[in-house]
Amino acid sequence: MRCPHECKLRPKKSAARLCPPTALRYFCTIMRKILLFIALLTTALAGRAESIDTLFHRAPEDVLPLLEGNTRLDLLDLYNYKMEAKAENIFGGTARLTHKTPDYLHVSLTNASEWEMKLLATNKDTLICVIHTRRAPAARSTIRMFRKNWQPAASTLPQPAPADFVAAGDTTDHDERTDILARLSTHFTEAHWNNSTGTLILRLSTEALNDTMRTKAEALLRPLHYRWEDGHFVPTTPTAQ
């Protein structure tokens, strides 16, 4: 016999209870939000990983052989804490991180060697320009271009001839000018990135000349300036500072 009050004794169904299709839609909405958060977090971390500090630390050994990974981290930590950023290179000498911005870094590797890294934007990517200068005794720089994964990047670098360095309006005797230029070589070109003006500066090194010839060469020559434009180095006039 059924109890007349059976209907009252049964527990009422919760109004908040969701039917299967509604529950599935709710679950999918939550999962989409979680996946979106993970994607945004991954993107943020990926962008952060491409900082100048991280790129410097990740530089391959053949690009920056004198500084081991832990030494690079030590230099970064000291510089970021506004302390004198110096550490020991692999030869036991002193390396110094002398200047760092979000897109530029300069390291004195030894007393006769320095290393620069500059981030250069293109339409689709950012390239890394590395300038390594050695003085033994004449200054000689090598310029290399890389992608942010440190794979070599195809890029046209300036290749000036010695005559391109002759100052405009020079009045040096023709034979003497020819003699000076014959003693110089583009293999002894010194490069430097001026981060204040945003220009690459090339100079013909004169250290290999004797004092008399060096004085004449310095009066004859002028540095060449290039700016980065549309993925290329373009000649430009010096910027007053």
Beta carbons within 8 Å of 163's beta carbon, 6+ residues apart? 181
Beta carbons within 8 Å of 131's beta carbon, 6+ residues apart? 115, 116, 117, 118, 141, 142, 143, 191, 192, 193
CB 143 within 8 A of CB 157: yes
User: In angstroms, rounded to a whole number, what is the distance separating the alpha carbons of residues 224 and 89?
Assistant: 32
pLDDT at residue 233, as a whole number: 96
Count Cα atoms within 13 angstroms, Cβ side, for 49.
9
User: In angstroms, rounded to a whole number, what is the distance separating the alpha carbons of residues 30 and 24?
Assistant: 10
User: In angstroms, rounded to a whole number, what is the distance separating the alpha carbons of residues 238 and 15?
Assistant: 77
pTM across the whole model: 0.77
pLDDT at residue 169, as a whole number: 82
pLDDT at residue 31, as a whole number: 61
pLDDT at residue 36, as a whole number: 41
Which amino acid is located at 179 in the chain? D
CB 52 within 8 A of CB 105: yes
pLDDT at residue 238, as a whole number: 82
* Domain chopping of the chain, boundaries: 44-155, 156-241
pLDDT in tens, the chain (241 residues): 455 554 444 444 444 455 566 666 566 556 644 644 554 454 444 444 489 999 999 999 999 999 999 999 999 999 999 999 999 999 999 999 999 999 999 999 999 999 999 999 998 899 999 999 999 888 999 999 999 999 999 888 999 999 999 998 888 888 988 888 888 877 789 999 999 999 999 999 988 788 998 899 999 999 999 999 989 999 998 865 5
User: In angstroms, rounded to a whole number, what is the distance separating the alpha carbons of residues 113 and 99?
Assistant: 15
Please give the C-alpha separations between residue 47 and each of 43, 54, 146, in angstroms, as whole numbers.
6, 11, 18
Extract the tokens encoding 225: 């300036």
Beta bridge partners of 88: 94
pLDDT at residue 240, as a whole number: 58
User: In angstroms, rounded to a whole number, what is the distance separating the alpha carbons of residues 204 and 126?
Assistant: 29
